[in-house]
Amino acid sequence: MVGDFAVGKTSLTQKFVNNVFSDKYLTTVGVKIDTADVSDTKLVVWDVAGRDALSPINAAYLAGAAGIVLVGDGTRPETIKSFAEIWQTVSGKLGDVPVVVALNKRDVDGWEVTDDLLQTSIQSSWAVFETSAKDGSNVPELFAALVDRINC
């Protein structure tokens, strides 16, 4: 799980793994590891600390990843523009891994995802989901799509 800080990486993970959601923001330090079973595949989820202006993603936490969930906040366009820079770090380390994109917080007012933004920030090979960790919409689909891509 990679993306800017506070976009909902932890929330999506927790929703998927434990089916819980909290409004309170508790930032992730380093990496937090969780596991879940998707059909007969065991998925080990590395929920990596968010990127911010001062600290880029620590590539060490990406080691051994089979796939990437790129998370952005649909109400903060800047977090989607960050995909390009994050992708540099990821592909530098892992090459062309399977990627799914979560445009998160779909339930919040002030959705600011425009066609222009998608055009410039999202690669055509990526699968894009508009998700909400709060109401759970598209969350299982997001992870299922990633597992599919890893397995084939």
Ligand X SMILES: Nc1nc2c(ncn2[C@@H]2O[C@H](COP(=O)(O)OP(=O)(O)OP(=O)(O)O)[C@@H](O)[C@H]2O)c(=O)[nH]1
**Which residue ranges make up the site for other proteins (CB under 8 A)?**
5-6, 25-27, 29-35, 42, 44, 49-50, 52-54, 58, 60-61, 63-66, 76, 78
Identify which of residues 22 and 25 has a Cβ nearer to other proteins in the complex: 25
Q: Which stretch binds Mg ion (CB under 5 A): 9-17, 60-68, 94-102, 126-134?
A: 9-17
Q: Which stretch binds Mg ion (CB under 5 A): 10-18, 75-83, 89-97, 119-127?
A: 10-18
Stated as kind and residue range, the H or E segment containing 2 is: strand 2-3
Half-sphere exposure for 77 (CA within 13 Å, toward CB): 11
Rounded to whole angstroms, the Cα distance separating 61 from 64 reads 8
When asked if residue 10 is in the footprint of Mg ion (CB under 5 A), the reply is: yes
For the CB of residue 124, give the shortest distance to other proteins in the complex, in Å.
Answer: 27
Rounded to whole angstroms, the Cα distance separating 123 from 125 reads 6
Q: Which does 53 bind (CB under 5 to 8 A by kind): ligand X, Mg ion, other proteins, none?
A: other proteins
Rounded to whole angstroms, the Cα distance separating 112 from 1 reads 22
Cβ-proximal residues to 8 (8 Å cutoff; 6+ apart), any chain: 71, 73, 102, 104, 105, 131, 133
For the CB of residue 58, give the shortest distance to other proteins in the complex, in Å.
Answer: 8
